[in-house]
């Protein structure tokens, strides 16, 4: 699973916006592990969101799915 897919999965299953911190925490706990074994950082979540404006909406500190 790619980071983008993990973010979409969490946002879709939760049904509401989430902070980058919460997304990183949940992804690290159960969905994704980097090749080098290090946890996903909040900055990586934001990088994915900024690279995919057609998928995600920034609402203050929350990240939502583009519907």
The pLDDT tens digits of the residues spanning 23-61 come to: 999 999 988 778 888 899 999 999 999 999 999 999 999
Residue 67's pLDDT is what? 75
Among candidates 4, 26, 45, which has minimal Cα distance to 58? Answer: 45
d(CA 34, CA 62): 23
Tell me which architecture the domain covering 3-65 has in CATH: Orthogonal Bundle (1.10)
Among candidates 57, 62, 64, which has minimal Cα distance to 11? Answer: 64
Domain positions in the chain are 3-65
């Amino acid at each position: 699973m790619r980071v983008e897919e993990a973010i979409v999965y969490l946002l879709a299953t939760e049904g509401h916006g989430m902070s980058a911190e919460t997304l990183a925490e949940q992804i690290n706990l159960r969905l994704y592990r980097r090749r080098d074994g290090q946890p996903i950082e909040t900055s990586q979540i934001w990088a994915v969101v900024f690279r995919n404006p057609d998928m995600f909406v920034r609402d203050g500190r929350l990240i939502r799915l583009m519907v």
